[in-house]
């Protein structure tokens, strides 16, 4: 925590933190390091960052991922920021993720699930890069832009003991030269494994909440506030990020992802009938539904992180859509609560089978907390007929692999 302690303006920051818990908004120009990025982009791109140029007969293989190096930076330098030229909240982001992520066919997995060839696709948001990658990088592009615009010097967030969101937030802070303080549920483990090991390697200040480690969403949120207040009182400028990065600002990342997905799908196979995603905080689901404009196009599979997804997802989707200047999405929210098992992160047999199936049919490594349960949800939906064999389905691989290396799953690859 020493690095940013030297930052001046402590008295003002303390006053601000006491009233709002967030640093006050600063002029947006403070975000920009790389205005030239936008200038370098060809005009035909429109509002979306350039995607991928697809070779007609090689539909899984992107050719020529566009890469814009801002003027004035050495070749190969990765810009941290683009600054909006327009007024859209969708433009106020930092460049932290490797985008676009691939949209890959998964016919072997689809065939094992009884789907027709060409029906199942995987959106590889596990390979977004920063800190090992995963869905949170897209959210952090917006959240960190907001944090810098508000003059923050320390990111504060929290999650379950094996939180991917916490890992990636810690990495984003380091990438941007900020400090990071995190709250993790449960007692400090004697041996650091999976994401805990990575968070410790990344060097964040960790507050362990104690207790038996079950995920109490609201207790973690309260602890995030407490840590931010403590830092604010000590003269720091904390920026609070809710569990899962699930604010309207963070969800902009998945509104943008929905547009990216639609563009890729249009070239590869046409309209997306269904997106299947793991629901932790519900923010990814909400952003996708807002971006696609229809709640019924997204099936969220509840992993047991919060009790109120059925109301939170549509509310968050409407809020994020409004922030992006879009209408609230139509349709009914779809959340499958049938695959949580004994609780958040608890091993379940249908999750294990889903993890093994994806790994052994496609070489696709899912995780035991989120994406394994999401695939178990898709398996069940195909079985009960609520998803048909020809439904053009995109399975969101949201990352999370480090959790596989944490205790309870060590024997998952054994005995079939
Ligand atoms: C790997 C992985 N997948 C899915 C999710 C769920 O995302 P959300 O919290 O936006 O619902 C998370 C959340 O931490 C995650 O780490």
Q: Which residue ranges have their beta carbon within 6 Å of ligand 1? A: 134-135, 164-165, 244, 246, 278-285, 367, 370-371, 398-400
**Residue having the nearest C-alpha atom to atom 1 of ligand 1:** 400
**Residue having the nearest C-alpha atom to atom 12 of ligand 1:** 280
Question: Cα 102 vs. chain centroid, distance in angstroms?
Answer: 16
Most confident of 18-22, 212-216, 297-301: 297-301
Candidate from 207-216, 221-230, 275-284, 295-304 with smallest mean pLDDT: 207-216
Task: Kindly give the number of the ligand 1 atom that is closest to the alpha carbon of 281.
Answer: 9
Based on the fold, state whether residues 266 and 358 are members of the same structural domain.
yes
Q: Give me the pLDDT at residue 10, please.
A: 31
Could you give the 3-state DSSP secondary structure of residue 97? strand
pTM, two decimal places: 0.83
* Buried-state track 350-364, b at ≥16 Cβ within 10 A, e below 16: bbbbbbebbbebbeb
Based on the fold, state whether residues 161 and 294 are members of the same structural domain.
no
CATH number at residue 107: 3.40.50.1100
For 74, residues 6+ apart whose C-beta sits below 8 A from its C-beta are none
Q: How many CA atoms lie within 13 A of 239 on its CB side?
A: 28
On the question of pLDDT at 291 being above 70, the answer is yes
Ramachandran quadrant class, 130 (left: phi over 0; alpha: psi -120 to 50; beta: rest)? beta
Pinpoint the alpha helices (H) of 79-216: 107-112, 136-149, 164-176, 194-202
On the question of pLDDT at 58 being above 50, the answer is no
Task: Tell me, in angstroms, the distance from the centre of ligand 1 to residue 287's CA.
Answer: 12
Q: Give me the pLDDT at residue 216, please.
A: 83
The answer to whether the CB of 137 falls within 8 A of the CB of 128 is: yes
On the question of pLDDT at 344 being above 60, the answer is yes
Task: Kindly give the number of the ligand 1 atom that is closest to the alpha carbon of 164.
Answer: 16
On the question of pLDDT at 214 being above 90, the answer is no
Task: Kindly give the number of the ligand 1 atom that is closest to the alpha carbon of 126.
Answer: 1
Percent of the chain whose pLDDT exceeds 70: 79
Based on the fold, state whether residues 117 and 254 are members of the same structural domain.
yes
Asked if residue 51 is part of any domain, the answer here is no
On the question of pLDDT at 41 being above 70, the answer is no
Based on the fold, state whether residues 201 and 303 are members of the same structural domain.
no
Angle at 96 between CA 94 and CA 74, to 5 degrees: 85
Active-site residue, selected from the candidate residues 163, 204, 247, 281? 163
Task: Kindly give the number of the ligand 1 atom that is closest to the alpha carbon of 284.
Answer: 10
Task: Tell me, in angstroms, the distance from the centre of ligand 1 to residue 135's CA.
Answer: 7
Candidate from 67-76, 99-108, 197-206, 288-297 with smallest mean pLDDT: 67-76
Based on the fold, state whether residues 326 and 390 are members of the same structural domain.
yes
pLDDT band at 295 (very low <50, low <70, confident <90, very high): very high
> Which residue segment(s) compose the domain that 293 sits in?
103-134+247-409
On the question of pLDDT at 60 being above 50, the answer is no
390 is catalytic: no
Based on the fold, state whether residues 227 and 356 are members of the same structural domain.
no
DSSP state of 111: H
Based on the fold, state whether residues 121 and 266 are members of the same structural domain.
yes
Based on the fold, state whether residues 214 and 277 are members of the same structural domain.
no
Ramachandran quadrant class, 194 (left: phi over 0; alpha: psi -120 to 50; beta: rest)? left
- Verify cis geometry, omega within 30 degrees of 0, for the bond prior to 100: yes
Asked if residue 348 is part of any domain, the answer here is yes
Task: Tell me, in angstroms, the distance from the centre of ligand 1 to residue 165's CA.
Answer: 7
Based on the fold, state whether residues 305 and 320 are members of the same structural domain.
yes
* Buried-state track 281-317, b at ≥16 Cβ within 10 A, e below 16: bbbbbbbbbbbbbebebbbbbbbbbbeebbebbbbbb
**Residue having the nearest C-alpha atom to atom 3 of ligand 1:** 398
Q: Kindly compute the dihedral angle of the four CA atoms of residues 140, 146, 152, 154, in this order, to the nearest 10 degrees.
A: -10
Total domains in the chain come to: 2
Residues in the chain: 416
């Amino acid at each position: 925590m020493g690095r940013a302690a030297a930052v001046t303006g402590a008295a003002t920051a303390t006053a601000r933190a006491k009233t709002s818990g967030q640093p006050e908004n600063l002029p947006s120009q403070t975000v920009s390091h790389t205005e030239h990025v936008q200038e370098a982009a060809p005009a035909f791109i429109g509002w979306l960052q350039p995607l991928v140029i697809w070779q007609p007969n090689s539909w899984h293989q992107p050719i020529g991922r566009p890469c814009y190096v801002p003027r004035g930076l050495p070749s190969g330098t990765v810009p941290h920021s683009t600054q909006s030229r327009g007024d859209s909240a969708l433009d106020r982001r930092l460049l932290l993720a490797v985008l676009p992520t691939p949209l890959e066919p998964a016919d072997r997995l689809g065939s094992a699930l009884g789907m027709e060839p060409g029906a199942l696709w995987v959106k590889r948001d596990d390979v977004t890069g920063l800190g090992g990658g995963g869905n949170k990088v897209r959210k952090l592009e917006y959240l960190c832009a907001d944090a810098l615009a508000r003059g923050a010097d320390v990111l504060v967030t929290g999650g379950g003991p094996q939180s991917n969101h916490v890992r990636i937030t810690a990495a984003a802070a380091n990438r941007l030269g900020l400090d990071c303080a995190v709250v993790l549920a449960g007692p400090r483990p004697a041996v650091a494994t999976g994401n805990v090991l990575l968070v410790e390697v990344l060097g964040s200040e960790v507050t362990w909440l104690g207790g038996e480690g079950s995920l109490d969403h609201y207790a973690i949120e309260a602890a995030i506030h407490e840590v931010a207040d403590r830092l604010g009182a000590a003269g720091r400028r904390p920026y609070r990020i809710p569990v899962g990065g699930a604010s309207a600002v963070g969800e902009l990342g998945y509104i943008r992802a929905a547009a990216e997905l639609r563009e890729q799908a249009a070239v590869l196979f046409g309209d997306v009938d269904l997106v299947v995603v793991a629901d932790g905080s519900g923010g990814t689901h909400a952003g996708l539904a807002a971006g696609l404009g229809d709640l019924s196009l997204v099936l969220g599979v509840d992993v047991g992180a919060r009790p109120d997804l059925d109301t939170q997802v549509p509310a968050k989707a409407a809020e994020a859509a409004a922030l992006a200047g879009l209408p609230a999405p139509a349709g009914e929210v779809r959340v499958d609560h049938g695959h949580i098992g004994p609780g958040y992160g608890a091993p379940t047999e249908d999750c294990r089978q889903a993890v093994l199936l994806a790994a052994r049919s496609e070489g696709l490594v899912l995780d035991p907390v989120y994406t394994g349960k999401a695939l178990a949800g898709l398996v069940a939906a195909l079985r009960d007929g609520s998803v048909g064999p020809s439904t053009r389905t995109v399975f969101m691989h949201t990352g999370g692999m480090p959790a596989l290396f944490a205790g309870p799953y060590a024997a998952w690859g054994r005995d079939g």
